[in-house]
Structure 1
Amino acid sequence: MGYKVAVVGATGNVGREMLSILDERQFPVDECFAIASRKSMGVEVSFGDKTLKCQDLEQFDFSKVDFCLMSAGSAVSKDWSPKIGATGCIVIDNSSCWRYDPEVPLIVPEVNANVLADYMARPNRRNIIANPNCSTAQLVVVLKPLHDVAKIKRVVVATYQSVSGAGKEGLDELWNQTKGIFVTDAPTPKKFTKQIAFNVIPHIDVFMDSGDTKEEWKMVVETKKILDPKIKLTATCVRVPVFVGHSEAVNIEFEQPISAEEAREILREAPGCMVVDKRENGGYVTPVECVGDFATFISRIREDATIDNGLNLWVVSDNLRKGAALNAVQIAESLINRGLIKKAA
């Protein structure tokens, strides 16, 4: 016997990816429901070799479902996740709505799945589990095994984030601007603050009083919550003209010595990590090559001679997968594999 799963936001980029990953990983699904807003009611989405018709969020009975994979944005999650959780269904939310709530666990299974047992044992839990920001998810998968060995003091990261992180509007804007430039049609920014085609924009989310953007702040706070509150982290987050796949240039300072070769061997054995690091032309992974893959790829592993116990890394991952849909499915798998969930009646 399998589980009943609802995907809320099933018509969006991440919602469709969730359905695809549930099928690819052969998640034990007895029945899958595609849920969306009333205006998308009846829209068809694919689930393996099946076609699902979207049902109305406001009319759906979540008490008959074991898992709700929520990818409909913060406003919808704020309103609906507590209601859905109150029915006994476990909500795994992809928005930023619950990430910073001390009563809601923020989970990357390769890093901190161990906290799920304590959470599920709470009698008054909300039945909400949060997915981290896409740029944080791939980063902490790489930091965790290194932190366990040499203890990280400080991280400096620059991100190169694809337009799919801004949803369908971001994808459309890059596509339309790129086409327009070739026919001398001046690009008009709508989703982004400046032209994104053939450009980079050092601005993701809103600016804060500190001068950081909220995307940069998210990486700091989420890394501390997921991995270790003592880690110091600073980030510069940049939107780049790539359709799918986030990249990160990461500089790490450790408390204990660790060589590039030691790091390479540690990461080769680490869950969710794939090392592709040859010091030759093409001996590294770029965003185009990571699309559709489950792994987080690490390349350009080398020692930083400017600090004691320092390393530089290049980290690439499919943001729609590990940064969103895959991580959500992995959380559900962790709950099942650890015997932490009872099936709905």
Structure 2
Amino acid sequence: MRTYNTAILGATGAVGQEFINLIEERNFPFKNLKLLASKRSAGTKLMVKGKEYVVEEATDDSFKDVEIALFAGGSISKHFAPVAVKAGAVVIDNSSTFRMDPEVPLIVPEVNPEAIKDHKGIIANPNCSTIIMVMALKPLDNIAKMKRVVVSTYQAVSGGGKEAMEELEEQLRAIAEGTPIEPHILPGASMPKHYQIASNLIPQIDVFQDNLYTKEEMKMINETRKILSDDKLRVTATTVRVPVLRSHAESVNVEFDDAISVEEAKKALQAFPGVVVRDNPDEMEYPMPLFTSGKDDVEVGRIRLDESVEYGLNFWVCGDQIRKGAALNALQIAEYMIEHDMI
């Protein structure tokens, strides 16, 4: 098998670390590997497949001879993605920078792999919550055309990065010890006000827009339409941060143009790659973040008819947003391109 010169930008963060885990687990065919990060993290030593690598500071010269560049996300993508493409790399970017660019494919490999061929050097990885939701929406849309989607998310603190995870753990310890809590990360480190997340829910992820939706909510709305190539699909979202370390959950309501039964929905979902149906009310079996953390598949359960509309369905979906919602999805894009000789 041919091997590829590969770079990971943001190697020391939560998504970058997951890239490394997955490269090892999936035996990704890299030849030479560059681990890149900010100046602050340069010099960090990381093990990959038994070999020690030293993290380098990302510069404009970092992408020479790189064929596949996996970007973990962040504002640095805006500068370094074009630099990497100019050097000859295909960039798979986990930031929001290019997602809604009409020239950049927005890809979930199980859902719209045919769009990869239209790339011009950059391929965007969707928002983590969007990925988890469309994995469940696509098989349903295949059998009964969707016309409206209502989603409420229950998003783990790991979506806010390593610092947010550490803050939740610190706050839980403080509650147990009876010591004061001074929040400084959530709902966002750069925001003017911060709230305790332990024993709490925060109904704000990212900044508010002029329409009073948050940026995270608008990402889910706009990205879902783009991935499913359906500008007429009506989507509304409420995104909430919850005191869970890892794995997002979402309550989804879908209205269709035609009738769809619970049995048809379960069959379509179970047959879809990357989806597991965990739905057994008699045995109290349903998806939960605790049991989807560290897993590749998204799980769907609580599937039931919406009795308030003619053709509607409710379901609950959980998925590990660092794996399928970020690093795994990006790596699957690269694997698809390798398999189809697109690099």
Structure 1 length normalisation: TM-score?
0.94
Q: CA deviation at 1:280?
A: 2.6
Superposed, 1:133-148 pairs within 5 Å as 133-148=127-142
Deviations 1:9-58 (CA, angstroms, capped at 9, x unpaired): 00000001011111111111222221112222220123233322111211
Q: Deviations over 1:97-155 (max 9, x none)?
A: 11111111111111111011233xxxxx2x11111111001111111111111010001
CA contact under 8 A between 1:91 and 1:128: conserved in structure 2? yes
What secondary structure, in the 3-state scheme, does the structure 2 residue paired with 1:137 have?
Answer: helix
How many residue pairs end up in the alignment? 334
Match of 1:211 in 2: 212
Amino acid at match of 1:35: L
Query: Larger % of helix: which?
Result: 1
Summarize the alignment of residues 1-345 of structure 1 with structure 2, pairs less than 5 Å apart.
1-58=2-59, 60-74=61-75, 76-119=76-119, 125=120, 127-192=121-186, 193-227=194-228, 228-341=230-343
Q: CA contact under 8 A between 1:105 and 1:115: conserved in structure 2?
A: yes
Per-residue CA distance 1:76-112 (angstroms, 9 max, x = gap): 1111110111111001111111111111111111111
Aligned partner of residue 114 in structure 1, secondary structure: helix
Q: Using the alignment, how far apart are the partners of 1:316 and 1:49 within structure 2?
A: 32
Preserved contact between residue 8 and residue 15 of structure 1 (Cα < 8 Å): yes
1:59 Cα deviation (Å)? Answer: 6.3
Q: CA deviation at 1:60?
A: 4.4
In 2, distance between residues paired with 1:47 and 1:73? Answer: 23
User: Which residue of the partner structure matches residue 122 of structure 1?
Assistant: none
1:72 Cα offset (Å):
4.4
Q: Could you say what the CA RMSD is over the residues aligned between the two structures, in angstroms?
A: 1.2
> Structure 2: 5+ residue runs without aligned partners?
187-193
TM-score by length of 2: 0.95
Separation in 2, partners of 1:185, 1:280: 42
Q: Which runs of 5+ in 1 are unaligned?
A: 120-124
Q: Supply the AA of the counterpart residue of 1:205.
A: D
Q: Matched residues in 2 for 1:206 and 1:296: separation?
A: 27
**CA positional deviation for 1:66:** 1.0
Mapped contact 2:106–2:126 kept (Cα < 8 A): yes
User: Counterpart of 2:127 in structure 1: which amino acid?
Assistant: N
- Following TM superposition, by how much is the alpha carbon of 1:281 offset from its aligned partner in structure 2, in angstroms? 4.1
| Distance of 1:259 and 1:208 partners within structure 2 | 37
CA displacement, residues 202-261 of structure 1 (integer Å, 9 cap, x when unaligned): 110001111111111110000011112221110110000000000000001011111011
| Distance in 1 of aligned mates of 2:144 and 2:51 | 48
